[in-house]
Amino acid sequence: MAIGRYIIARGLALFFTFLISIIIFFILMRVLPIILYGGNPFEPMQAVDPVIQAIKRTQEDPRFSGWIDYTLKLFGLEQPVLPNQLILFLKNVFIFDFGYSMYSLRKVSDEILIRLPYTLALYVYAIIVPIFLGYYTGILAVKHRGKFIDSLITMMGIFSFIMPSWIIILLIYYFLAYLPKAQFGITLLPLPVRTPSLSDFSLENIRYVLWYLSPLYIATLAAFFGSWTYFFRQTMIAEIENDYVTTAKAKGFSDSTVIKKEVVPNLKPPIITRLAYTLPGIFGGSLILEIISSWPGVAYYSFQAFVNFDYPVISAFFVISAMLLVISLFIADVLIAILDPRVRIGERR
């Protein structure tokens, strides 16, 4: 029963955190601009409302007539922003109805689904693979603590951490794609010229997709593994100072056995917590990386929405990102409570 109460308490806390975050988002995007430009959010059809201003740009195009009526009804724009439109916004959030894009006239959910495969194809690798590489390099550094290998791995990890992925991809494109082609007529890696289709599952297209993604995979691996290497190294070094590790070594266990059998199991809570904050980043992606590589992911789509104030798209991006983070944190809390009873006992106290 204790773990059940803990899970319910954490679930309710995270739900209200999500609710407060989307209310703050609404206030920043809808209420604050009206107030700053001298409007009154408690009165309907404010001319300074950024959503109404964005809609007015399309009124002269007859294609948008039906869409304008739909949008006015969906967001309740004929009603006061507070509290009427806020209530409608919350209702639409919980039924996952984000409406239509102001510029493409397509449903926002369909637009995101078109770009989601591109985001997943890149960032599932970019997020997951560096974790495994960081884990094994971190163990290697701990096993050779204070030696040359440890120093080398630490320096590589720090360099990886401070070097942005977009700089690395630019270097790769120049030295491994452009220069070999321009100077020697050799094609080592592709330049971001023709973006592949992810709807074609032929063997030839799959090979082209992997070839096109190879510079991005190299860049993200080089840029992201360092922080995980340093994280695993530091957490393991802090853990091996405990008495139970000394006892295990006194029993004659090798360093590898002590690390894998004794140290790593006790690192599960901090690892799960960091994963909870990292994995939702798969949806958000990296804007600069997608622009440089001409990769049509969700990040670049959301950036275009911010530039054009495509409010339905902006709302969807924020809400989905916040929801994924909350769900990830909730799963992490549940797993940590199962693995470490001290967490739920401390919560009850």
Is the pLDDT assigned to residue 168 strictly greater than 90?
yes
Q: 298 with 337, same domain?
A: no
Q: 25 with 46, same domain?
A: yes
Mean pLDDT, the chain, whole residue set: 88
Average pLDDT over residues 283-301: 89
Average pLDDT over residues 269-285: 87
Whole-number Å distance between alpha carbons of 308 and 293: 22
Please, are residues 44 and 80 in contact by the beta-carbon 8 Å criterion?
yes
Q: 254 with 280, same domain?
A: yes
Print the domain residue range for 76. Answer: 1-102+310-349
Whole-number Å distance between alpha carbons of 310 and 144: 53
pLDDT (tens digit, 9 = 90+) per residue, 326-341?
Answer: 999 999 988 888 887 6
Whole-number Å distance between alpha carbons of 214 and 211: 5
Q: Is residue 110 part of a domain?
A: no
Is the pLDDT assigned to residue 296 strictly greater than 70?
yes
Question: pLDDT at position 341, please?
Answer: 64
Q: 241 with 124, same domain?
A: yes
Q: Structure tokens of 194?
A: 């023709």
Is the pLDDT assigned to residue 345 strictly greater than 60?
no
Beta-carbon contacts of 179 under 8 Å, excluding residues fewer than 6 positions away, are: none
Q: 261 with 171, same domain?
A: yes
Q: 286 with 234, same domain?
A: yes
Question: pLDDT at position 219, please?
Answer: 95
Q: 292 with 234, same domain?
A: yes
Please, are residues 72 and 311 in contact by the beta-carbon 8 Å criterion?
no
Q: Is residue 213 part of a domain?
A: yes
Please, are residues 280 and 328 in contact by the beta-carbon 8 Å criterion?
yes
Q: Structure tokens of 153?
A: 């791995």
Q: Is residue 107 part of a domain?
A: no
pLDDT (tens digit, 9 = 90+) per residue, 93-137?
Answer: 999 888 888 778 789 999 999 999 999 999 999 999 999 999 999
Please, are residues 90 and 39 in contact by the beta-carbon 8 Å criterion?
no
Q: Is residue 109 part of a domain?
A: no
Q: Structure tokens of 120?
A: 């997943």
Q: 36 with 92, same domain?
A: yes
Residue 123's Cβ-side half-sphere holds a number of Cα atoms within 13 Å equal to: 23
Which of 323, 329, 179, 336 has the alpha carbon at shortest distance from 267?
A: 336
Domain count, the chain: 2
Question: pLDDT at position 259, please?
Answer: 85
Instruction: Give one DSSP letter per residue of 170-194, joined into a string.
Output: HHHIIIIIIHIIIII---SS--SSS
Whole-number Å distance between alpha carbons of 151 and 239: 19
Q: 249 with 129, same domain?
A: yes
Q: 228 with 318, same domain?
A: no
Q: Structure tokens of 6?
A: 């803990």
Q: 128 with 24, same domain?
A: no
Whole-number Å distance between alpha carbons of 289 and 165: 7
pLDDT (tens digit, 9 = 90+) per residue, 207-261?
Answer: 999 999 999 999 999 999 999 999 999 999 988 888 888 888 888 888 888 888 8
Q: 167 with 299, same domain?
A: yes
Please, are residues 195 and 294 in contact by the beta-carbon 8 Å criterion?
yes
Please, are residues 331 and 7 in contact by the beta-carbon 8 Å criterion?
no
Is the pLDDT assigned to residue 266 strictly greater than 60?
yes
> What CATH number has the domain bearing residue 260?
1.10.3720.10
Beta bridge partners of 100: 107
Roughly what angle, to the nearest 10 degrees, separates helices 311-339 and 341-348? 100
Residue with structure tokens 């090979």? 207
Q: Is residue 21 part of a domain?
A: yes
Question: Apex CA 107: angle with CA 101 and CA 108, to 5°?
Answer: 65
Whole-number Å distance between alpha carbons of 334 and 7: 6
Residue with structure tokens 């304008």? 68
